[in-house]
Copies of this chain bind each other. A is one copy, B any other.
Amino acid sequence: MRDPSAPAAPLPTLLVLDAEPLPRLGRLTGRARIEHADESSLADRLPHADVLLVWDFTSRAVRSAWPGEGPRPRWVHTASAGVDHLLCPELAASDTVVTNARGVFDQPIAEYVAALVLAMAKDLPRSLDLQRERTWRHRESQRVAGTRACVVGSGPIGRAVARTLKALGIAVAVVGRTPHTGIHGPDELDRLIARADWVIAAAPLTEQTRGMFDARRFGVMQPSARFVNVGRGALVVEDALAEALTKRWIAGAALDTFETEPLGGDSPLWRLPGLIVSPHMSGDVVGWRDELGTQFLELYERWEAGRALVNVVDKERGYVPGR
């Protein structure tokens, strides 16, 4: 028990980079000095903070605002699965711990991928077009059971996608950075995507994965293949995908993420043949912000108690390693 006559330890400063409020922060009243920053004030405030919470995970401001030397937060948490938006070389080289929202998005994203796969197999976008034209036109659709998927990314999201597609009777191969029981290594990627009906990108964005879905890889896929990206937009060379769809190298695609977000109104991607565009929403089910807030508070309580954090990012690799 703390000696009541001892001077109270100074409260840690929690700096929140936010655009939208996080109601659950009220639980930290009296346990942290909470400051807020926006992109313009971040650089000034970072040196005084003990903890940085990147609640506005669309911001890339941390990369430029991170203090090179001198005082800096000991811990940075981002309310996202991806960490590419904050991992600058100085942060990677420092002893600051980075954690992410591993776990929150797995099942929602897996369901979203299943929705896209089934919608494409059952030709649902075309049915909705015909409905708008009040036209009755029967077509044959595809059975998904017995088809083959290749899921690129062996983290919790990729593995949840694999489980859900398997539950629909799809034969799934998972490709990861390190071969493992049930996980294929990168050298098997081309062989696996060449025979897949569904290629699902769910990898972190790292120097190894940036632009990995390029003209050559779309050229390797079957003409009947469909491609889905629920990882970061920059995994895909968008011009190469546009060409692959226009030239019918592949049968269709769905992108939930883009190199530049929001996607501009003049982007050709909105109107590519066979492409479904959605606004980076695959993991965002009702209650997701609350879940992200609760997850941060649980981590904060560990940190406050001096216990080891979980969801710790390997800053060299650019993701949380291990199963």
Q: Which A residues have a C-beta under 8 Å from some C-beta of B? A: 107-108, 111-112, 114-116, 118-119, 121-122, 124-125, 127-128, 130-132, 134-145, 164, 167-169, 261-263, 265-267, 270-271, 276-281, 284-288
Contacts of A118 in B (CB 8 A): 111, 114-115, 118-119
19 residue pairs from A and B, CB less than 8 Å apart:
A111-B122, A111-B144, A111-B168, A114-B118, A115-B122, A116-B124, A119-B124, A127-B276, A127-B281, A130-B279, A131-B270, A131-B278, A134-B270, A136-B279, A138-B281, A140-B284, A141-B286, A143-B285, A167-B167
Enumerate chain B residues within 8 angstroms of A277, measured Cβ to Cβ.
Answer: 127, 131
- Give the complex CA separation of A127 and B286 in angstroms: 16
Closest to A289 in B: B140
Scoring A135, A139, A278 by chain B CB atoms within 10 A of each residue's CB, the highest score goes to A278
Cβ–Cβ contact A276 & B128, under 8 A: yes
Q: Which residue of B lies closest to A112 (CB)?
A: B122
Give the Cβ gap from A200 to chain B, nearest Cβ, in Å.
15
Known A136-B262, A278-B127; contact A141-B270, beta-carbon cutoff 8 A = no
CB-defined contacts of A287 to chain B, threshold 8 Å: 143
- Assess the B279–A134 pair: CB atoms within 8 A: no
Known contacts A140-B285, A281-B141, A286-B142; A115/B108 CB under 8 A: no
**A281 / chain B contacts, CB cutoff of 8 Å:** 127, 138-141
B136 near A263: Cβ-Cβ < 8 Å: yes
**Cα–Cα distance between A141 and B287 once the two chains are bound (Å):** 9
Given that A134-B265, A276-B131 are known contacts, is A288 also in contact with B115, CB under 8 Å in the complex?
no
